[in-house]
Amino acid sequence: MAEKRNYNYIWIGAVILVFGAIFVPKIADRLGEGSVVERDRMSVAAGSEAGSAPLEYITLNGERRKVPDFALTNQDSLLITDADYLGKVWVAEFFFTTCPTICPQMTANLVELQDELAEYEDFGVASFTINPRHDTPAVLKDYAERYGITDMDWHLLTGPRDSIYELANAGFNIFAAEIPDVPGGFEHSGLFALIDREGYIRSRKDQFGNPIVYYRGTISRADGTNDTGETEQISLLKEDLLKLLKEENGK
């Protein structure tokens, strides 16, 4: 019996030596390149339906949803309409300059995208204030300067209160309301809408094959997740912006 056990040990040792000779050098090479985790993560992302599939059109009652008409005043006291964004790939958000909670991070995330997409002259942003009584063009101008907003196609927009709330709640279906009891006196969704050159709202699909519709704007890429475990979607938004910018430029 002892002799038989010795043969078993010899056989197991031989298998281990063969495995090591074949696979260990390959693993060592990948570790040397610093690529084991990164390459595997990227291969999963690149092969996922959400990242590789064409962007969805958001529909309502079977019709593609388009940005509603609007005519508002920007930080330079210029009249800006939805027609000014035709031919551009852009992001829409709702915010207010005295927001003590989510708006600063939303703005910082968009400024990062602005800087990273600076080579694309057809990229834009529309920031609609939900506190137009306070957020005059002069106030919006100061806000833009403080946060480093430099893109000529990033308009911070103010105007009639009812028009802006109609645009948010009915036009984009992004919640906004004046609620005196909450911090800052206003409550709104920290979501970004992605709009293509023809004015249609677009998004990628989630892992279940459904459009995500809007992108979380309140979590930074550096943080990755928030306190409730939601993950950042600025990385996804940038990927999808580039997809529209490059595809529609024929690149």
Residues at the binding site for Cu cation are: 99, 103, 188
Which tokens is 219 given? 């979590």
Dist. CA 2–CA 28, nearest whole Å: 37
Hey, which residues does 202 pair with through a beta bridge? 57, 194
Encoded amino acid at 251, one letter: K
Under 8 Å between Cβ of 195 and 91? yes
Q: CA-CA distances (angstroms) from residue 16 to 12, 26, 129?
A: 6, 15, 66
CB neighbours (10 Å) of residue 235? 13
Annotated binding site: 99, 103, 188
* 236 three-state secondary structure: helix
Residues in the chain: 251
Q: Distance (Å, rounded) from C-alpha 91 to C-alpha 237?
A: 9
Give 60's Cβ-side CA count (13 Å radius). 11
